[in-house]
Amino acid sequence: MTQPISAAPPRPALFLDRDGVLNEDPGYVYRWEDFRWIPGAREAIAAFNAAGWWVFVVTNQSGVGRGYYGEADVLALHAQMSRDLETVGGRVDAYYYCPHHPEAAEARYRHPDPPDRKPNPGMLLRAMAEHPVDVSRSLMVGDKDGDVEAGQRAGVRALKFEGGDLFEFLQDELR
């Protein structure tokens, strides 16, 4: 019999922003044919999986609220990312995305200060509520100051990734 996730012992989590950390960010990526992995991103995820860490993607997706693409597009892209990660032995344990924006075209996505939209920590806090996370050993990686702030506001150490090879950037974190 499998233990429920909540009964499992806490383990550290790697929280990753998506655009600019996992994939190149030319702006509003929502189709697989436009998706390009950042060098070392798939390998980094697989290495943290192998080390027993949770891996969560936490991504602002204001393109949904702005009407550029739909939530189904975001879910389809994440599903394809997961299929591609399997080819290198990696997996994302959960994807969290925020379609809300203060100036969203659609009223249902408009919020003056969306709690899940980074720099707010809502997505990280939700992941920690849904999974047994050892917050003291966890890490947030983003390419924007708002990503770093979201991690810090969630009580998680945070690093700013400014490009290059993500696996090389994170290698010391696995020691």
| Cα within 13 Å of Cα(104), Cβ side | 24
**Catalytic positions:** 17, 19
Question: What count of other Cβ atoms lies within 10 Å of the Cβ of residue 128?
Answer: 22
What are the structure tokens assigned to 163, written together?
């490009």
Of 149, 156, 141, the closest CA to residue 120 belongs to: 149
Q: How far is CA 133 from CA 70, 113, 140, in A?
A: 30, 26, 13
Estimate to the nearest angstrom the gap between the alpha carbon of 66 and the chain centroid: 20
Radius of gyration of the chain (CA): 16
